[in-house]
Structure 1
Amino acid sequence: MNRPSTTRKTSTRRQAPLDFSQLRDNATQAARLLRALSNENRLMLLCMLFERERTVSELNESLPLSQSALSQHLAVLRDEGLVKTRREAQSIYYGLASQPAQRVVETLHSIYCPEGC
């Protein structure tokens, strides 16, 4: 009688040992990004900046936030390296800075705003 084999086939390819230090660093970076994205107002700011660069005035007109609250949210995003600024005459333009932020916002946009918001 043929009995099925109970031994597992093992791959001849060796897996690299898990680098816990690198894993911790990556998890820390991901947690910081997700913490910045966890606030509705900051998420809306990033979604607006996903479409194009905007001035502080444009952002302030589009979101129901006080000037000081907007500045605080933009400071958090700037400190986390998620947005960048550039000055043109009297205007300061904000845009998405980091590739991970762009990819996450793009993914969220495709899920929650597939036909535009």
Structure 2
Amino acid sequence: MSKPSPSFSDLNEMQTHAKAAADLLKQMSNEHRLMILCALGNQELAVSELNHLIPLSQSALSQHLASLRHAELVETRKASQTVFYRLKGDAAIRIIAVLQSLYCPEYQTTQCGEKL
């Protein structure tokens, strides 16, 4: 049984949000940024922890984190000299959860970031 095709009003609604959705997917289309977002999927991590998990130079990691901050997909918290990152916004959290369920089911989390 096939799904009904979207109505005209559904397409108008998508048109309203198409640029934001495309911008989000552009950020996620880079393998390194996607790995950063997946690492942050259910936790807050310090830059040093991310640098240990993601095989990038510190300079490259910083550039990717800046891009994700600019796109408002991550937010930071500073404690003393340590900067912590976490996902920001429902869209990023939900998409990362779906990607984890498809490609890394052993790490699947709920939308709140709790392990299933």
Structure 2 CA distance, aligned partners of 1:106 and 1:19? Answer: 24
Aligned to 1:92, the other structure's residue is in SS state strand
Q: Which stretch shifts more, 20-29 or 56-65?
A: 20-29
Structure 1 CA distance, aligned partners of 2:10 and 2:29? Answer: 28
Structure 2 CA distance, aligned partners of 1:17 and 1:43? Answer: 33
Matches within 5 A, 1:50-89: 50-89=41-80
- TM-score, normalised to structure 2's length? 0.80
Matched, 1:100 2:91: yes
Question: Please, which runs of 5 or more residues in structure 1 have no aligned partner?
Answer: 1-15
Matched, 1:30 2:25: no
Instruction: Name 1:5's counterpart in structure 2.
Output: none
Q: CA deviation at 1:56?
A: 0.4
1:59-107: per-residue Cα shift (whole Å, max 9, x none)?
1111110111101110111111100000111110000001100000000
Moved over 2 A (4+): 16-25
Question: Please, which runs of 5 or more residues in structure 2 have no aligned partner?
Answer: 1-6, 109-116
Q: CA deviation at 1:115?
A: 1.1
Amino acid aligned to 2:22: A
- TM-score, normalised to structure 1's length? 0.79
Structure ID, larger Rg: 1
**Number of residue pairs the alignment of both structures matches:** 102
Structure 2 CA distance, aligned partners of 1:110 and 1:17? Answer: 31
Structure 1 CA distance, aligned partners of 2:37 and 2:8? Answer: 37
1:14-68: per-residue Cα shift (whole Å, max 9, x none)?
xx97387754330001000000000110000000001210000001111110111
| Cα 1:28–1:61 shift into 2, 3 Å | same
